[in-house]
Structure 1
Amino acid sequence: MVEDLLARLVAFPSVVGSPNGAIVDWIAEYCRAHGASVTVLPGPEGDRCNLFATIGPRDKPGYILSGHMDVVPAGEAEWSADPFTMRAVGDRCYGRGTTDMKGFLACALAALPGLAASNLSQPVHLAFSYDEEAGCRGVPHLIEALPALCEKPLGAIIGEPSRMRAVRAHKGKAAVRLEVIGRSGHSSQPHLGLNAVHAMAGVITKAVAYGKLLAEGPFDPNFDPPYSSLQVGVVAGGQAVNIIPDRCTADIEVRAVSGTAPLSLLEPVKQQFEALRSENFKTFWHELSAYPALSLAADSPLAGLMMELTGKETLSAVSYGTEAGLYQQAGIEAIICGPGDIGRAHRPDEYITLSELYACRQMIEALGARLSG
């Protein structure tokens, strides 16, 4: 059954940044058909929604199973077949989002009928978000609505691919777009223009130098690398080599170790960037995304629960980011645990194995058994 549900979910091309009404409507109908209380939460974009569903008593503290419905684009030429038509080959299920992270959604949905029949004394909530792949843009709206939807949860299990090993920490992240506006003109008369590319190049040079200083600490040995980092990922500007470019943009991200606010790491870059105004450039600072680090103590109740449910020791940290830090920031203990391997995500011929799916479904069923009675 879980593979059938996964095939249905993969068939929705719910690419990040696009309307997601079709997949939300289908999941909502499925959940309601199996006895769940469902709330669809439209986001401010107007064409995207989060979904929250509850099995069991809403007035008791329970646990959240958290996942995102969006996937990254699948435009790579190396795909062996249609990425939005799941293919089962042996133990492998191929398709965009199978690992990241519709596999976890399928497991939660597959377990839902059993949860509904098990007379839960504490609830299990499904919290499915949008635009996680754009920097966790959807889930803050869902988290903000939680007090009106349920009693404060005891914990949130974020089902990002972790080979079914519960993970207690990840770095925080912030991404910004710097936009500088100068003045165009003929390249033979550079003194009459304001070269936006040259101006941005100076900012980038200083940002990269500052990024190297982050390697001096603070440190967290749970991560590789054990320090915060900065990268300039995208630079764009100019029209032709003989035209003074009047506009240039640069996208910069930082990844912060626990205890460091990601956006605070960008303050020195912002100061250097805004100093261009004294040279008659216009500057615009656009925050693209930001989410905090996750740091859950090894002896926390949630970590102990996950060891019980999976039969495996928890892992200290992973290098990728998730929505878990946002739940923790809101006062809800959070941990990562899901089927699949992050190394298969965002690649052509992404896949998950049936054994991984079955193990995840069993973990969720074990959670339900623990909450029954």
Structure 2
Amino acid sequence: MRAPDILAKLVSFVSVVGTPNADILEWIGTYLKSFDATVDIIPGPEGDRSNLLATIGPRDKPGYVLSGHMDVVPANEAGWTSNPFVLRVDGERLYGRGTSDMKGFLAACLAAVPMLTAGPLMRPIHFAFSYDEEAGCRGVPHLIARLLELCETPLGVIVGEPSNMRAILAHKGKSAARVTLKGRSGHSSRPDLGLNAIHAAAEVLRAAISTAHTLAQGPFEAEFEPPYSSISVGTIHGGQAVNIIPDLCTLEIEARAISSIDPAALLSPVREAAAALEHRGFQVQWEQLTSYPALSLSRPALLADLLTELTGTEPLAAVSYGTEAGLYQRAGLEAIICGPGDIGRAHKPNEFILMDELAACQVMIEALARRCLA
């Protein structure tokens, strides 16, 4: 099958983050087994979704991992001009949810399989396809935990997030949390008898804003935009009516950290501000939503040199969005980002990828395979 045909099939699976993924998993597994690839399904604790690790070549030799995620964000935005889960071809553009982020990379991997299996690889190529990346890389840690049990330590990991087929050496880390404040409701004419959860949330909000201002003063890593760590409050929900003292308020907060900083630590002042509200009678719940480390691949690095040769382009120093690559690096593996499509098209109506981008990614994968022949 050609990469666009495979992409059409992958897009047709409504593999939205946080939902079961047995259908897309089964199709990919069946396809790979038809070429005699070794396929392992690695379930997550949710019970209804799993990762996939497939190998072409010998598992007892060090090789390379091509890593991507099977899930996509929902397609509920206004502005779609066609069904987001039916691939629409318009000239060079292939429209559909996940085309750039990142089923295009999966399609290029799968389209390369006939070439990868045509001659015996002396070094293996592994496909590591994960679930729930869009929920903060929740699936891949379960795959990474078993990786070295299933194969020899890889020489490197290529994470195929959309990068315009230019390798990326670093990205920021992220930690996100939900804080829920529970007070006491009542009539707004007697605020002295209630505990206003929205007013209390202002203390948490103030701590987040103050921390954000402090982080903007440094430390700095010039390759990032912005070159400092950040904190952002993304949502606030609370209250029922203007004349009811709100007894519940929930905030969702995220931190993005430069590579020298632990992203979870950035939220400590906010968590302390929330915890202090317990002394005023509020119930406080802090829920960690996501956390993954930054990626920082130093030069010189063999993996960076390899991607330069395979793509013909010097790597980009850093991006501010996050990927699963930092988790692979934390597990002791060299990791780098390189994939087809543009991150600027992701999570938007009429997401698309170009035919040439798919083809370029398949060419890169096949060139990598030729290096593994001897």
Question: Which TM-score band (shorter chain)?
Answer: over 0.9
1:210 is aligned to 2:184: no
Give the deviation of 1:22 after TM superposition.
0.3
**Aligned mates of 2:361, 2:159 — CA distance in 1:** 12
**Aligned mates of 1:338, 1:147 — CA distance in 2:** 24
Give the deviation of 1:113 after TM superposition.
1.6
What TM-score, normalized by structure 2, do the two folds share?
A: 0.99
State the match for 1:37 in structure 2.
38
Residues 128-170 of structure 1: per-residue CA shift (max 9 Å, x gap):
0000011111001110111211111111000000000000000
Question: For 1:216, what is the secondary structure of its paired residue?
Answer: coil
**Aligned mates of 2:273, 2:113 — CA distance in 1:** 52
Give the deviation of 1:35 after TM superposition.
1.4
**Aligned mates of 2:260, 2:39 — CA distance in 1:** 36
State the match for 1:19 in structure 2.
20
Question: For 1:60, what is the secondary structure of its paired residue?
Answer: coil
1:256 counterpart letter in structure 2: A
**Aligned mates of 2:53, 2:285 — CA distance in 1:** 36
**Aligned mates of 2:274, 2:235 — CA distance in 1:** 16
**Aligned mates of 2:135, 2:89 — CA distance in 1:** 29
1:259 is aligned to 2:255: no
Q: Tell me, yes or no, if the aligned pair for 1:118 and 1:369 is still in contact at 8 Å.
A: no
State the match for 2:335 in structure 1.
334
Q: Tell me, yes or no, if the aligned pair for 1:118 and 1:368 is still in contact at 8 Å.
A: no
1:221 is aligned to 2:235: no
Give the deviation of 1:77 after TM superposition.
2.2
Give the deviation of 1:206 after TM superposition.
2.1
1:284 is aligned to 2:285: yes
**Aligned mates of 1:268, 1:204 — CA distance in 2:** 11
Q: Which runs of 5+ in 1 are unaligned?
A: none
State the match for 1:67 in structure 2.
68
Residues 18-37 of structure 1: per-residue CA shift (max 9 Å, x gap):
11110000000001001110
Q: Which runs of 5+ in 2 are unaligned?
A: none
**Aligned mates of 2:79, 2:200 — CA distance in 1:** 38
Residues 159-184 of structure 1: per-residue CA shift (max 9 Å, x gap):
00000000000000000001111111
Residues 254-300 of structure 1: per-residue CA shift (max 9 Å, x gap):
00001111001111111111000100111010000010000001210
Question: For 2:219, what is the secondary structure of its paired residue?
Answer: coil
Question: For 1:93, what is the secondary structure of its paired residue?
Answer: strand
Tell me the number of residue pairs that the alignment of Structure 1 and Structure 2 aligns.
373
State the match for 1:311 in structure 2.
312
What is the 5 A alignment of 1:12-161?
A: 12-161=13-162
Question: For 2:42, what is the secondary structure of its paired residue?
Answer: strand
Question: For 2:245, what is the secondary structure of its paired residue?
Answer: coil
Question: For 1:127, what is the secondary structure of its paired residue?
Answer: strand
**Aligned mates of 1:293, 1:323 — CA distance in 2:** 9
Give the deviation of 1:117 after TM superposition.
1.6
**Aligned mates of 2:297, 2:281 — CA distance in 1:** 47
Q: Tell me, yes or no, if the aligned pair for 2:203 and 2:273 is still in contact at 8 Å.
A: no
Q: Tell me, yes or no, if the aligned pair for 1:54 and 1:123 is still in contact at 8 Å.
A: yes
**Aligned mates of 1:35, 1:184 — CA distance in 2:** 63
**Aligned mates of 2:42, 2:241 — CA distance in 1:** 46
Question: For 2:320, what is the secondary structure of its paired residue?
Answer: coil
**Aligned mates of 1:2, 1:300 — CA distance in 2:** 30
Residues 32-74 of structure 1: per-residue CA shift (max 9 Å, x gap):
0011100011110111110100000000111000000000110
**Aligned mates of 1:368, 1:35 — CA distance in 2:** 16
Give the deviation of 1:205 after TM superposition.
1.4
2:15 counterpart letter in structure 1: S
Question: For 2:101, what is the secondary structure of its paired residue?
Answer: helix
Greater CA deviation, 237-246 or 162-171? Answer: 237-246
What TM-score, normalized by structure 1, do the two folds share?
A: 0.99
Q: Tell me, yes or no, if the aligned pair for 1:171 and 1:292 is still in contact at 8 Å.
A: yes
Q: Tell me, yes or no, if the aligned pair for 1:229 and 1:255 is still in contact at 8 Å.
A: yes
Question: For 1:71, what is the secondary structure of its paired residue?
Answer: coil
**Aligned mates of 2:316, 2:77 — CA distance in 1:** 32
Q: Tell me, yes or no, if the aligned pair for 1:172 and 1:292 is still in contact at 8 Å.
A: yes
- In the TM superposition, structure 1's runs of 4+ consecutive aligned residues that sit over 6 Å from their partners are none
